[in-house]
Structure 1
Amino acid sequence: IRSKQESIVVALNPDNIAKKRDVLEEGKKLPQDVQDKINIRTFELIVAEVLPLSIIESVYFRNYSKEIDSRVNVLCMKSLKLLIAKEFVKFKSHIKNEFQMAMHVCLTADVWGAKRHSFMGVTAHWLKMLPDGTIIRMSAAISCLRFPGSHTHDKVAEYIKQVMDEYGLPAYKVSHVVTDNGSNFVKTFKQFSVSKVLSKSFYLKHLFISNMNFVGRN
């Protein structure tokens, strides 16, 4: 009888109850490495498909995730934003390393407006040699900036240089900058061309692609 009483006392001990509750709750969670992979896949889906961040707050998205595995802890908006910021830092570091290894990099640039807001997009393209000697083409969208005010040639040049500086891309590595034939781009490359170097640290080579929203297509 005493042994049973002692067992009951031990079982009813608040500390023991809390430990059992923790064990049960832990069993309802996914292993952390699995949860981390799911978080990354969620991030990749939203970014790659350009989905609104608010989709993770949709009851249908949460039901979908829970249906796959009830132990999934669906990201909240704050956690998703932190994850995006973290992954962007990793992405930028990776691209900087790629640029350091590349002999030449070709940029594309485009300015467009939507709902009284203007943006400037820049993509980068380069060749990479693999360890086995194979050469592959690489590309990345490296910037999409708000472009307030008039789309003047000097602001275009300033923005392109800003992006190059941000990624540690020296001017001598930029073989060409591909744009459409807008008058602002034409003037930019007349002023900041190889033949008219206004700054020893910054010049641009230009290649026209007429009537093509090049950045948008990439």
Structure 2
Amino acid sequence: MSVAETQENSSEVSQLSTSEEVGSKEDQPTLVHPWPYLEEFFEMVGCKNNSFRMRCKLCAPKYHELMAFKNSPSNLKKHIEKKHPTRLERCTQLTSASLKRKSSTEGSLAPPSKQTKLWETQRVSQASVDKVVLKFIVQGLHPPHVVQQQGFIDLVQHLRPNTSVMTRNTVVNKVTKASIEMRRKLKAALSEIEFIATTTDCWTAHRRSFIGVTAHWFNPQTLQRSCAALACKQLKGSHTFSALAGALNDIHTEFNIREKIVRTTTDNGSNFLKAFRIYGQTDENNNPEPVGESDGEEDDGGQNDNDDEEESVEGVEFVDAGALLDEDDYLEYQLPKHHRCACHLLNLVSTVDALKAEVNPLYKRVSRSTFAKCSSLWNKSSRSTTASELIEDHCKLQFLRPVATRWNSLFSAVERIVRVM
């Protein structure tokens, strides 16, 4: 064999070996880091048995290889604690962030089929449906006939198929029974309380008059403040002081708290003031002068009993009982001590002071002119739908009309006009 042929064969062998090496490198699988959040500190070198071979980047230029189990990077963390303690905090932050990310991802990727199955396994009884419907009517102040509306029936049956909806009469009966049970529990709770404060008010709505009473007390064991509505019922007839006193006395007697009330707070209406002035307790009638106390004289052994009896008979004044029976019996009702509402009193004081400012002629002229223009706007917007629509189109809101019985209504109405201007 010639030299030329030998060189040619050797070159072919070298090219073949080189191509085989390149092919073997391309066939090697790419190593995936088992803990990507630690790539800042460790590089994966390979695998050995059930462990990963990791190279520490922080030890460079020195080559330091570690072994870490496939199910835990604890060896890597120990290495950082011992060799690189300054980077331990950063490693802990990366680990906690990775755990949070993993938990949120697992929660979002939970299979919906399992959730559906869990929901479908819950059974709702007819009694629980009736209870929820009753709660909806009571808390929302809805009329009982709402259960007869087809839309409401479709809603309940869509949420829970094969469920019957109560009739109006059933709702009324259940509300009545619930009211009786609530009163019983409230009376039992108030029977254990020694001191109670109440508030009351009277108002008119939809051409009917109502009176409301609330009770407030402290729990003697926990000192927790509690409150409850005792009554909200219609008050027929004129709102005279005697009518208010009778209604309050009946409510206090019904709950057996007449002797426990320390104060009743009302507004400064003349009818309430007169009712408590006549029927209410005062410091004078709550602390009567002692009767029958000894005047310091020694007992005479009963020798002067006959003389005292004669003197007492002579001092008796006879009065016609018929005249007393014809007069109003102011002891018919018994009300507790009265307390005026401080907020309402301050409102009245400020109102009176504002009216006194009109003593100044200049201020009076400007004030009356301004409020006359405001009244014109209020009257026009409330009486004309066309004017109301124009105001809403241009101002994007409506004017508020002041009401005499609402304390801040005048301020709110004027503030709305100023805002539009």
Q: Give the TM-score of the pair, scaled to structure 1.
A: 0.74
Match of 1:153 in 2: 241
Partners in 1 of 2:153 and 2:199 — Cα distance?
39
Per the TM alignment, residue 42 of structure 1 is displaced from its structure 2 partner at its CA by 1.5
Partners in 1 of 2:333 and 2:248 — Cα distance?
13
1:135-150 superposed matches below 5 A: 135-150=223-238
Per the TM alignment, residue 116 of structure 1 is displaced from its structure 2 partner at its CA by 2.2
SS where residue 272 of structure 2 aligns? helix
Deviates more, 1:92-101 or 1:37-46: 37-46
Aligned match of 1:206 in 334, 338, 351?
Answer: 338
Unaligned runs of 5+ in 2: 1-122, 286-329, 348-404, 406-421
Does 1:91 find its partner at 2:182?
yes
Which string of whole-angstrom CA distances, capped at 9 and with x for unpartnered residues, describes residues 9-41 of structure 1? Answer: xxxxxxxxxxxxxxxxxxxxxx8x932222122
Determine if contact 2:246/2:333 at 8 Å carries over to the other structure: no
Partners in 2 of 1:162 and 1:203 — Cα distance?
10
Aligned-partner residue type, residue 179 of structure 2: F
Partners in 1 of 2:337 and 2:135 — Cα distance?
34
Partners in 2 of 1:200 and 1:88 — Cα distance?
29
Higher relative contact order structure (alpha carbons within 8 Å, sequence separation ≥ 6): 1
Match of 1:100 in 2: 191
Per the TM alignment, residue 51 of structure 1 is displaced from its structure 2 partner at its CA by 1.4
Aligned match of 1:78 in 153, 166, 169?
Answer: 169
Per the TM alignment, residue 109 of structure 1 is displaced from its structure 2 partner at its CA by 0.9
Aligned-partner residue type, residue 205 of structure 1: K
Match of 2:250 in 1: 162
Partners in 2 of 1:105 and 1:178 — Cα distance?
12
Q: Would you tell me which structure has more strand in proportion to its own residues?
A: 1
Per the TM alignment, residue 91 of structure 1 is displaced from its structure 2 partner at its CA by 0.4
* Residue 124 to residue 60, structure 1, CA distance change in 2 (3 Å): same
Aligned-partner residue type, residue 51 of structure 1: H
SS where residue 191 of structure 2 aligns? helix
Match of 1:176 in 2: 263
* Residue 34 to residue 135, structure 1, CA distance change in 2 (3 Å): farther
Aligned match of 2:145 in 49, 54, 60?
Answer: 54
Determine if contact 2:211/2:234 at 8 Å carries over to the other structure: yes
* Residue 68 to residue 79, structure 1, CA distance change in 2 (3 Å): same
Partners in 1 of 2:240 and 2:161 — Cα distance?
54
Match of 1:22 in 2: none
Q: Give the TM-score of the pair, scaled to structure 2.
A: 0.40
Partners in 1 of 2:138 and 2:217 — Cα distance?
23
Per the TM alignment, residue 141 of structure 1 is displaced from its structure 2 partner at its CA by 1.4
SS where residue 175 of structure 1 aligns? strand
Aligned-partner residue type, residue 260 of structure 2: K
Which string of whole-angstrom CA distances, capped at 9 and with x for unpartnered residues, describes residues 18-74 of structure 1? Answer: xxxxxxxxxxxxx8x932222122212211121122211111111111111113221
Aligned-partner residue type, residue 217 of structure 2: W
Does 1:187 find its partner at 2:255?
no
Partners in 1 of 2:232 and 2:164 — Cα distance?
31
Partners in 2 of 1:79 and 1:199 — Cα distance?
44
Aligned-partner residue type, residue 184 of structure 1: N
Match of 2:154 in 1: 63
Unaligned runs of 5+ in 1: 1-30, 214-218
Partners in 2 of 1:114 and 1:203 — Cα distance?
26
Aligned-partner residue type, residue 185 of structure 1: F
Partners in 2 of 1:165 and 1:141 — Cα distance?
15
Per the TM alignment, residue 125 of structure 1 is displaced from its structure 2 partner at its CA by 1.4
Match of 2:365 in 1: none
Per the TM alignment, residue 113 of structure 1 is displaced from its structure 2 partner at its CA by 0.9
